[in-house]
Amino acid sequence: MPYDNPQIEAGHKSVTGHGGFKLNKKSLLFERLRQRSESSLASGGDGFVFASMLALDVGLNTRTIKGMLDPAVSSGAIEKKERGAGRAHKYRIIQR
């Protein structure tokens, strides 16, 4: 099932996702964020995911992850928890 989100742009390198379908890196990033947020909420957590965990999932560095997610924060598609200078930021999909 491809991730349908207007925040995702075409043109990024494609990778094979779970189930064998093709995803670009940005689509994979948003899909993994959604999966990890839902998993965290289901286990009693707050749903926030560290950018470093997403970096391991999609094979990009955290600066690139932040660059891809911050525009979605501005548009209200995801939420960001800033933890102070020098501390890792956390992200989650906004539950509607």
Q: What is the domain partition of the chain in residue ranges? A: 14-93
Judged against a pLDDT cut of 70, whether residue 1 lies above it is answered with no
Q: Which CATH number fits domain 14-93: 1.20.1340.10, 3.40.50.2000, 1.10.10.10, 3.20.10.10?
A: 1.10.10.10
For residues 39-51, average pLDDT: 94
**Greater model confidence, 75 or 10:** 75
pLDDT band at 29 (very low <50, low <70, confident <90, very high): very high
**Residue 20 to residues 1, 5, 47, 50, 77: CA-CA distances in angstroms?**
10, 20, 26, 26, 26
